[in-house]
Chains A and B, each alone.
Chain A
Amino acid sequence: MTNTRIFGYADPLCARAGGTVDFMISVEGRETVTPRLVRVLHGDENPEGPGHVEEAVDLALPAEIAVKRQFTQVGSFARAEDPEGRLDGLTSFTLFAHVHPTAPKAERQQIMGRWAIGPSKGFGLGIDPDGHVALWIGDGAHVDEIRTEVTLVPRCWYFVAASFDGASGKAELHLINTVNPWNSRISTVVPFQPDSWIREVLRHRPAATGADASFKLAAATAENPVRGHHGGFLYNGKIDRAGVYDRPLDRAEVEALSRGETPPQDGLLAFWDPTANLGREGVGDTIPDTGPHGIPMQGVNRPVRCMTGFNWRGEDSYRLAPETFGGVHYHDDAMTDCRWEKTFTLALPDDLKSGVYCLRIEAGGGQDSIPFIVRPKAPKAKLALLLPTFTYLAYANEHLSYEAPIAQAITAHTPVLNEEDLEYKKLEEFGLSTYDHHSDGAGCCYSSWRRPIITLRPRYRLPAMNFPWALPADLSLIWWLEHAGYDYDLITDHDLHAEGVDCLKPYKAVMNGTHPEYYSEQMMDATEAYLRTGGRLMYIGGNGYYWVTGTRKDEPHCIEVRKLDTGSRAWQAEPGEGYLACTGQKSGLWRSRGRAPQKIVGLGFTAEGMDESQPFERMPDSYHKRAAWIFEGIGDEEPIGDFGLAAGGAGGIELDRYELGLGTPPHTLLVASTSGHSDNYPLVSEEVTYAFPGRGGTQDAQVRGDMIWFTTPENGACFAAGSIAWSQALPCKGGENNVARIMRNVLNAFLRDGPLPGYRYTGDETLWR
């Protein structure tokens, strides 16, 4: 291994020619790096395809860039914006909070407080390494602590309050179990009474921390001379309403607070009520203070909002009963923004060709390729390739084969790891994907581009599948478009999400990537509007338009998805926690919200497997003159795509099916299908109502990928081949093969103005031979 470690990310991931891209780079072991800019045409090094293809870009770059080591704050917490220091130097106080701890661990976890870890100053309420609730105070020389004798039961709601009287040194710790039939993992049938009320006189007094610490929820303040202040003592679990008094409260007051009653104003310094700013359109990172001074909390690394609170009673959404959704879930391994300093800004020339670019930085034998996508300054080509950047983020830095025991059973083979993977996995600094679980077992619902992402590196092959996935897979399409000589513009999910149908309108035809799985409402609407108004769409991917996804209005870098109820889901949101905090919409499958993908592109997810892909075979409809032109040059019984870089075929990995019942347009022609899939392709769970044996590829007719054709208003049309493996068959045989032939047939027709071929054949059939 080299001793130079280089990591970087581009912001934004999707740039526009004529604009700029910022690069955040962290290097250990070198002070400068040499940059090079390349346009990547193909990523996968599989010798059956063209291999890794890139071209140098003639752009004036500095010969060397000065770099330094940058640090990443891992873990989510909230920090009080308290410039007046109202929460500092308290002599007598009460801290209280409704908490739902999820993972007792061998480290101290601070629920709330103003505690400077290094100098041991201030006060903190939290969970000690043995799992007891504790209040600790320190004056910089001595630390004193009061703790409960019992430990906490994970995933139950408790009310904790700690009061301290500076005059007498008397501290009291109250732990009140607030488990009810609704809110916790266990119910009230458990003979479970872990309340605790401890009283003790402490020897020392807390000192003011000044600039050494800030008041935080779910973390304390650590400091490192190189790195500066950062969050330590990270807490795992939910915190609902929390507050601070400048006086010790008596038991009656504590009990009233534990029941959720409005806090009395006498001595109240702050009362953070996460429900106070829940809007119908979601909520940001601010937890408002409804107390007299208004000292809001700012979330770091996106504490998960809109989660069920201590008083939740089964409502499905925070839109129905916001006052019961005060839960804010903090994770010690959440990371949505590295917040690195900008190392270098690249100005993109106005005429830079649209493409996937990499800033290659090298030093001392180490290197990193930081990918970013450039769209033209204004639409140029007639064809747009819509790169599914939401999907890229959803899978960013996934840990499936490393952590999910069932991953090998899903993919039906042994994972093939890459050496560059190991460094990422050792470091564990760059966050999780929406396929991973946080350390307390909760699913990860956020993923952002503001971090180094190994799964975006062009050569990267997803270990679980041993073939490229997402961006590296879509590069096969880009290579083929270059090879076949089509002029194209790249646009991304993020552009589509931001601009809606205006993003697609300029193009005669739009082509999807291999796996457009994560879609927002804006993207669904735009695609539908495009097709409705004469747009021509080539949906050549699998499992598209699947998860209801969202981003905050002005923060496109971070997507949110909640996996729930049905679908191929790596995790399952807890009851009541299925709505997106960033938009207020219900997440889950689009299909569950009345917008099955079949309604837009005619196909929807039906099966997945990663052992073998199969070719498509022509179906009778492919001989109808309305669609027969698609198969020009293809033999009647010729297998279409019995080759490919994704498991050796054009039909496989994730497959989509024609289904009238789910909204496939009734005039759709089913022109080809795959068959012969193994039992490692089982029918997807959203199709399984009753479970019975025989839902695998060898026994269930619904396990197949379909190729369809239908027309839309104003000479629009949709050609769909429902298979992730489709595009990765294109580069085989030098780019000249029958999959490519079909692509050319469709593309040529789509790019021509006027009506589509075969549009005249609308008459009733007259068969007399």
Chain B
Amino acid sequence: MTEKRFYRIGSRPAEIMLPVRGDVPLARRRLPFTRRHLLKWRSRLNPKTLRQERWLADKKPLWWTIALVLLAVSAPFLSNSALTVASIFCIFTAINLLWTLIIGTAGIFSLATLAVVGIGAYASAALNVYLGLPWPLMFLAGGVAGLIVGGFLALPSTRLDGLYYALLTMGFAEICRVFVQQLKPLTPMNGSINNVGSFIPRDWFLQRPGLLLGFAGAFVLMLLALLTFRIVNSERLGMLLQTAREDEAFAEAVGIDYRRARLHVFLISSAGLGVIGAFYAQFYGSISPAVFSLDQLMLLFAMIVIGGLGRAEGAAIGTAIVVLIDKGLLDLGPLRILLVAAIMLAVTLLTHNGLAGARNQFRGWRQRRQSEARARRSEKGGEVMPEEAIEIEDKQAIYYRRFQKRLRDRLKALITPELIEEHRKRPLGQHSDALSRVLNHFRRGEVADKYAILRQSGQFHAYKIVAFSGVRGAPPRLVDDRVYTDINEAYHAVFLLRVNDLMES
């Protein structure tokens, strides 16, 4: 069973460890208005050297910063079409981040995301075009529109369960599309509103500076969405909902009103989506009913599924992949959709929670393989293998294992029917050398799971066999329900149990 091969173990540090000095202050900075630290630094005494070392325990902020800086810095060097793709990526990432809040954090399965964006866009565009609202106020208008619609959509969310609510919201999007298309004043434009005012000057539209400004706006929009995501998710609201997600009944019992918290998240996200709608209308200078269409929604859905639900990096990665294929590989034609579908299928089949969860999934898999290999190669109570020794702090315990194993092997050879008979006849007192050795081994064992005898109250000679827990305050467990009416029988029964354990070890 055990492959007796001693592999070399030990590895060099996989990440950069910073030295720590105890004689200079280590200033830990916080994010303003919170008790949170900007970065999750941790220190430890390295068990191999006992030196203090410090490392960044959560590197996600680092990767985010690198990715965002790269995107921002490379933008001026992108071609016009690539710049557009980057801008769309930013917008959709923003949408997906807020959607993730709704589905992931609040746990409300709403498919009305694009509908809210659309309503924000239409409301703000209409106000701008027909009532002359200046463009900066459009964001406010979009946000208010989103908040109102969100409020309406939120009402049934506590009543309807998952799938039904999803269908309801999908229907809502469809109603919006039909409504807009049939709206009399918009019929000439096929339901669209054009010539919407924008933060991009009219004559820069589709020009290089216009595209750059558009990208800058989209980038800022994405940063704002990220900020919203972080604030909601890692502050009080998110914490409450995290508890509720793990156990609704428990959350309720400790006084967390998770339904209210969910509604808050839904409203915040809807307002945000409304603002994105206003931006959307400004970015394109127009808004069309296509925003309500099912295929757009499905693309959005693909982004979330591919990226992985519930995490910011999931929203970004999924959006990046789908936008790149859908908008970047226009030459492929309808194949693009098939490609997206194929990726979506592959991701669903192979990963537990999208691409963002792939790393953890890989780690879990690797850990499982490690422990499988460990289990194959190590024997309970047997010789300690090098890879096990790493985890044993007191190295003497390793020697004890070796010694005990060899001792048990010698003692096993001593167990004979005569020896058992010797014990049965006289459990206490002077014994033969062989029996003394066996007994002394038994008696010196660790307390946990060590056998004892429990006198039954009411009768002097009535005994049952129990085993100690080895933990202060935890009572012994009953081993056998049989009642012995002679103490020597009880001693012998314990002896037989111990012999049995020895022979099986």
Contacts and interface: CB of A to CB of B under 8 A. Distances in A.
A575 B398 CA distance: 28
Contacts of B330: none
A199 B476 CA distance: 49
B44 A409 contact: no
Given A150-B43, A197-B24, A419 B457 contact: yes
Contacts of A679: 430, 436
Interface string B473-505: 111100000000001001100100000000000
Interface in B27-64: 27-30, 34-35, 41-45, 49-52, 54
Interface stretch (B69-77, B252-260, B313-321, B443-451): B443-451
Given A46-B460, A408-B443, A428-B472, A199 B25 contact: yes
A529 interface: no
A422 B428 contact: no
A107 to B, nearest CB: 14
Contact of A612 (B45, B54, B429): B429
Contact of B20 (A47, A196, A422): A196
Contact of A416 (B439, B442, B447, B455): B455
Interface stretch (A307-315, A390-398, A399-407): A399-407
5 contacts: A414-B452, A417-B453, A420-B457, A612-B429, A680-B429
B443 A194 contact: no
Interface string A608-628: 000110000000000000000
A298 to B, nearest CB: 28
Nearest to A422: B475
A195 interface: yes
A339 interface: no
Interface in A149-202: 149-151, 153, 172, 175-177, 190-201
A414 B498 CA distance: 11
B428 A412 contact: yes
Interface string A410-426: 00111111111010011
Given A198-B28, A439-B472, A416 B35 contact: no
B427 interface: yes
A190 B473 contact: no
A251 to B, nearest CB: 8
A583 interface: no
Interface residues of A, number: 64
Contacts of B371: none
Contacts of A175: 22
Interface in A668-685: 678-680
B11 interface: no
Interface in B404-453: 427-431, 436, 439-440, 442-447, 450-453
B455 A418 contact: yes
A680 B28 CA distance: 62
Given A149-B20, A151-B45, A412-B439, A199 B466 contact: no
Interface in A647-663: 647
B331 interface: no
Contacts of A419: 454-457
B468 interface: yes
Question: Which 7 residue pairs across A and B have the least CB separation, nearest first?
Answer: A195-B22, A149-B43, A678-B430, A408-B443, A409-B443, A611-B428, A612-B429
B246 interface: no
A613 to B, nearest CB: 10
A91 interface: no
A251 B445 CA distance: 51
Chain A CB count within 10 A is highest, among B442, B445, B446, B455, for B455
A409 B430 CA distance: 14
Contacts of B20: 149-150, 196
B394 interface: no
Q: Classify the interface of chain B: helix, strand, loop or mixed.
A: loop
A704 B308 CA distance: 78
B26 A403 contact: no
A200 B475 contact: no
A463 interface: yes
A199 B447 CA distance: 46
Contact of B52 (A146, A194, A418): A194
A463 to B, nearest CB: 7
A82 interface: no
A190 B50 contact: yes
Contacts of B44: 149-151
Given A176-B22, A196-B20, A201 B30 contact: yes
Given A149-B41, A197-B26, A611-B428, A416 B452 contact: yes
Nearest to A410: B443
B454 A417 contact: yes
Interface string A452-474: 00000000010100100000000
A694 to B, nearest CB: 12
B23 interface: yes
B463 interface: yes
A149 B51 contact: no
Nearest to A403: B447
Contacts of B494: 414
Contacts of A401: 452
Contacts of B427: 413
Contact of A463 (B35, B443, B452): B452
B482 to A, nearest CB: 15
Contact of B26 (A45, A196, A415, A612): A196
B223 to A, nearest CB: 25
A144 interface: yes
B255 to A, nearest CB: 16
B35 A203 contact: yes
Contacts of B27: 199-200
A698 B446 CA distance: 27
A413 B444 contact: no
Given A198-B26, A417-B454, A426-B473, A149 B443 contact: no
A402 B447 CA distance: 7
Contact of A150 (B52, B442, B447): B52
Given A148-B43, A172-B25, A405-B450, 12 more contacts: A47-B461, A151-B44, A193-B51, A199-B27, A200-B30, A405-B445, A409-B444, A414-B451, A414-B491, A416-B454, A428-B472, A612-B429
Nearest to B457: A419
A690 to B, nearest CB: 22
Contacts of A466: 453, 487
A403 to B, nearest CB: 6
Nearest to B465: A414
B445 A678 contact: no
B453 to A, nearest CB: 5
Contacts of A415: 452-453
A47 B460 CA distance: 8
A49 to B, nearest CB: 11
A698 B41 contact: no
A45 B54 contact: no
Interface string A422-462: 10011110000000000100000000000000000000010
Contact of A417 (B21, B26, B455, B472): B455
A198 B25 contact: yes
B444 A405 contact: yes
A612 B454 contact: no
Interface in B246-284: none
A191 B50 CA distance: 6
A45 B447 contact: no
A475 B52 CA distance: 61
Contacts of A45: 460
A340 B452 CA distance: 34
Contacts of B51: 191, 193
Interface string A4-21: 000000000000000000
Nearest to A132: B43
A236 B376 CA distance: 40
A196 B463 contact: no
B396 to A, nearest CB: 15
Contacts of A439: 472
A408 B26 contact: no
